[in-house]
A and B are shown apart, each in its own frame.
Chain A
Amino acid sequence: MSKSRILDIKRETWVLTGEGKKYAAEGSPEVQLFLAVPAEGSISKDELQKKLDPAVFKIGCSQAGKNKWVEMGKQVSRKVQNVEDKVKDLLLQVQNGHALSKEEISSLKARKLIVPQTWKGYSVRKGPNYAPKRKKAATDLTRENLQKGDWKELEFKEYNFNAKGQPAEGGHLHPLLKVRKQLKDIFLQMGFEEMPTNNFVESSFWNFDALFQPQQHPARDSHDTFFLEEPSTTRELPEDYVERVKRVHESGGYGSRGYGYEWKREEANKNLLRTHTTAVSSRMLKALAEKPFAPKKYFSIDRVFRNEAVDRTHLAEFHQIEGLVCDRGLTLGDLIGVLHDFFSRLGMSKLRFKPAYNPYTEPSMEIFSYHEGFGKWVEVGNSGMFRPEMLLPMGLPEDVHVIAWGLSLERPTMILYGIDNIRDLFGHKVDLGLIKRNPICRLGIS
């Protein structure tokens, strides 16, 4: 039944008290007394008293006296011929449910002959689902219902769309790799070719020296790099290229004054777990330099290793995203343009660039994007133009420039999904529920 069909009813009525009921039946005491007094003559008070009930006598005397019906004294006599038992009439009226005037109510109430009574009730009507018998609602339509034919009479329980329900049996892709797929699509749409990065073990030569990163540089310390005990050194390096790299570090050339230190082959031979995928980029650029020049756009998204303290936002292993464009006549303006294109596809269209330092790029720019939610500029990546000391020893033509940029895969994923501890997302301490709950990734699709 719906609420609107139920009416509250409250009635205030008067009912007779015990005393009231007595008078309604027997007459009011004053009339009883009056009738006990002879029509003619008089009666002694004592005799009158004996004739009547003590209570009736007492009240009757005072009321009859008040009404001036009788002369009260040692002898009692009538003052009037007849009287009406108004009180009895009123009481009978109340008993029959008739309404009385305010003054009548007051007088009866004063004599404690009536009391108020509240009657509460409800008015109901038949609703649409009215049934003389109670029905149980079905929760689902089953084959049995159809076979039995009782589906025609069935009443169905309403669906509760807020219920959690049984989790579905099915497969799920990892959130980080969903983001990776979207980024890969973005690169492909921008005309970038994927570099093969399936080589975690790298030599210091390709990871650092070929990139014009000096030996004795902080990043090459064991506290930032994982060096390998097995295999500890690389078995081969392209010797004539190594010669050119050694020379440019030690004494310059190609327009540079070089670093002016003693370059050591043993340092370059040391194997490590690559600290950046730029090591792969340098191999790819060297391979490019060995052929007649054709412009290329390369990208990669893969694991890198840093020997750093692990905390809420830092891991020893993470994914680096790298993009590079290699062509004649590229400018810093081209780098800014490609960065705007790339980051706008990630939903970041307000960018600012800050001068920075990388050993292998000059100019170098840190990329900042305005985060509406945080209300501030946050760093989203690093970029630059590879130094001539890196490109020219490879044998790339002098007018070829390479612009490149990089960022981590984890940080944008954490911001996208509101995860603040990276170990909740990546690694074995992950919550499987998080992977299952993770929605589709629409990065790159406006």
Chain B
Amino acid sequence: MPTVSVGRDRLFAALGKSYTKEEFEDLCFCFGIELDDVTTEKAIIRKEKHLDEEGDENDEEVIYKIEVPANRYDLLCLEGIAQALRVFNKQQEIPKYTLSDVSKDSMLQMHVKPETSSIRPYVVCAVLRDISFDEASYNSFIDLQDKLHQNICRRRTLVAIGTHDLDTLQGPFTYEALPPSHINFVPLKQTRDFTADELMEFYKSDLKLKKYLHIIENSPLYPVLYDQNRTVLSLPPIINGAHSAITLKTKNVFIECTATDLTKAKIVLNTMVTIFSEYCKRKYQVEPVEVVYADGRSYVYPDLSAYNMEVSLSYINHTIGVSLEAEEVTSLLNRMQLHAERSASGNNQWNINVLVPPTRSDVLHPCDVMEDVAIAYGYNNIPKRKPASVKPLALNEFSDLMRLEIAMNGFTEVLTWILCSSKEISTMLNRQTDESTAVVGNPRTSDFEVVRTTLMPGILKTIGHNKDHPKPIKIYEVGDVVLLDEKKDVGASCRRRLAALYCGANSGFEVIYLTVLTKNFTCELNNC
């Protein structure tokens, strides 16, 4: 699950209100994200540098680390999370993303050379016009690229993002694949120029970049982007050129994503432009770029078209287990950034027409829509339907567990008669006659005089009949005895008893006490 670090106060400002930690956690819980950790900017740096000293925590920026679902690329930065939560809270309408009105002739172009198909076949591009960055949004922009690189781009193997200051470049652009020695430029953070193979060597010791070298290292041709003046924009997926590096002052951003997976490249580009078009002079408007392949095929990017899905109301209701009206469903979906409208289908049924925006690449099937309805409705508001099931009889289950445990300690189970003679439960046990005894009125012999009030006679008689059995003899019985009981309708009830007996050269009291009573059942002895 990816984690996004956002400044708490900046987030709350974007949400238009301040929350207590508990209130915010609750909001996250309902929406489906999680506040994983609260820390400070300086604490993160200290941790990275393995420093121990604590500074003055009070004037440090509080950072919220928020865990977001792995398939929600639109939530990988503060702006994305804030927008989703504002729409969820009905503080904002779903933004409508559009392409700026540029004629095809005046559109910037990216020409793709055929050699690129051997190493990195696809490229998609877009322009963010009249954008204003401040330090926080600039950092957010860089961090989002990082997060996308780590997640959907699969560590730049599938897609690599390059962002450039358009005002330092001149279109049209070309996307080519050349032998490394033919590529020469000043990369980001450097002051001198390198050829591409020199750069490969140079970055072998760079902690951050060395893990991407393998992606193109062994290819005879390296991918590279140029502008009209043969300025290198970038050497994907390794590094951008220093010439076109974006700064806080950049007003026009050119974004290019080269890729081996076109679907993911489009998702990545859409994620970047939709989120950051918030900072453009014409909010939510993106300037398109035409990508022209060598065989003449051309495509205009970004593709911001919404995906149309028709979902029946009954499917939604019958799968969640609620009975919502169409209007309720559309209003719930709008809170999830899915523009929805009802339309009548035949048979007095309703369909919900959903326009899935370019930010919701995770919506593949009506079940995704149905889930969003359930989330907005609140999982914890859905009535539960109890299934048929059976419950165990606690006393019998417990008795069986006890029996097993005692047998495992070397005791042999016996099963003795419930009926016995009256002296067997009195004088023969050196006890007074128990007045709570159930007495049989018509016993055939003395063996059937009473119903046992204790398990003692049975186990003692068993020993009596097994006098020659090798000692020590350890036996036990778990069973019911009967005692008179005023609370019962019939006046008598069964009580479950355990009796264990040790017979040997000594009394063996410790064996009974330790084995049977305390060790296994963690009970305490009361007035034995």
Contact = CB atoms under 8 A, between A and B. Distances in A.
Q: Do A and B come from one complex?
A: yes
A380 interface: no
B520 interface: yes
B379 A341 contact: no
A168 B382 contact: no
Contacts of A352: 29, 380
B366 interface: yes
A363 B371 contact: yes
Interface stretch (B188-196, B317-325, B425-433, B441-449): B317-325
B210 interface: no
B498 to A, nearest CB: 13
Interface in B493-521: 505-507, 509-511, 513-515, 519-521
B387 interface: yes
A254 to B, nearest CB: 8
A363 B389 contact: no
Contacts of B528: 161
B69 A170 contact: no
Nearest to B68: A357
Interface stretch (B344-352, B405-413, B451-459): B405-413
Contacts of A446: 394
Interface stretch (A42-50, A79-87, A436-444): A436-444
A409 B189 CA distance: 51
B490 interface: no
B506 A140 contact: yes
Interface residues of A, number: 66
A424 interface: no
B389 A259 contact: no
A362 B365 contact: yes
Interface in B262-277: 262-264
Nearest to B153: A216
B466 interface: no
A27 to B, nearest CB: 74
A363 B374 contact: yes
A257 B307 contact: yes
Given A257-B365, A440-B401, A440-B402, A168 B514 contact: yes
B445 to A, nearest CB: 31
Given A170-B515, A255-B365, A363-B374, A445 B506 contact: no
Contacts, number: 180
A356 interface: yes
Interface in A135-184: 140-143, 159, 161, 165-173
A189 B385 CA distance: 18
B296 interface: no
A166 B510 contact: yes
A335 to B, nearest CB: 9
B320 A388 contact: no
Contact of A354 (B71, B379, B509, B519): B379
A338 B29 CA distance: 21
A341 B384 CA distance: 10
Contacts of B509: 140, 159
A11 B514 CA distance: 53
Contacts of A354: 29-30, 32, 34, 379
Contacts of A171: 408-409
A329 B383 CA distance: 15
Contacts of A357: 1, 32, 69-72
Given A355-B31, A440-B520, A387 B387 contact: no
B513 to A, nearest CB: 7
Given A171-B408, A260-B263, A333 B321 contact: yes
B365 A388 contact: yes
B388 interface: yes
B364 interface: yes
B368 A337 contact: no
B38 interface: no
Interface string A180-223: 00000100011100000000000000000000000010100000
A388 B510 CA distance: 63
Nearest to B517: A161
A439 B521 contact: yes
A114 B514 CA distance: 67
B392 interface: yes
A346 to B, nearest CB: 13
Given A168-B514, A170-B408, A333-B383, A259 B319 contact: no
B386 interface: yes
B390 interface: yes
B295 interface: no
B379 A191 contact: no
A70 interface: no
Interface residues of B, number: 69
B489 interface: no
Interface string A6-29: 000000000000000000000000
A373 B390 CA distance: 29
B374 to A, nearest CB: 5
A245 interface: no
Nearest to A337: B384
A395 interface: no
Contact of A362 (B154, B368, B386): B368
Nearest to A142: B506
B229 interface: no
A141 B510 CA distance: 12
B397 interface: yes
A251 B158 CA distance: 18
A117 interface: no
B406 to A, nearest CB: 9
Interface string A309-336: 0000000000000000100010111101
A219 B266 CA distance: 23
Contacts of A341: 386-387, 389
B370 interface: yes
Given A140-B509, A259-B263, A332 B392 contact: no
Contacts of A387: 365, 367
B208 interface: no
Contact of B382 (A185, A261, A332): A332
Nearest to B390: A189
B398 A336 contact: no
Contacts of A262: 261
| Max count, chain A CB within 10 A of own CB: residue among B321, B390, B509 | B321
B394 A261 contact: no
A437 B521 CA distance: 10
Contact of A168 (B29, B385, B515): B515
Given A173-B408, A445-B397, A189 B364 contact: no
Contacts of A218: 70, 151
14 contacts: A159-B509, A165-B510, A171-B409, A218-B151, A336-B382, A338-B387, A352-B29, A352-B380, A355-B30, A355-B31, A355-B371, A357-B70, A389-B365, A401-B319
Given A256-B364, A257-B365, A338-B387, 8 more contacts: A161-B525, A165-B510, A168-B409, A329-B318, A363-B367, A363-B374, A387-B367, A440-B521
- Closest A-B pairs by Cβ, 6 of them: A333-B321, A355-B32, A331-B321, A170-B409, A260-B263, A357-B69
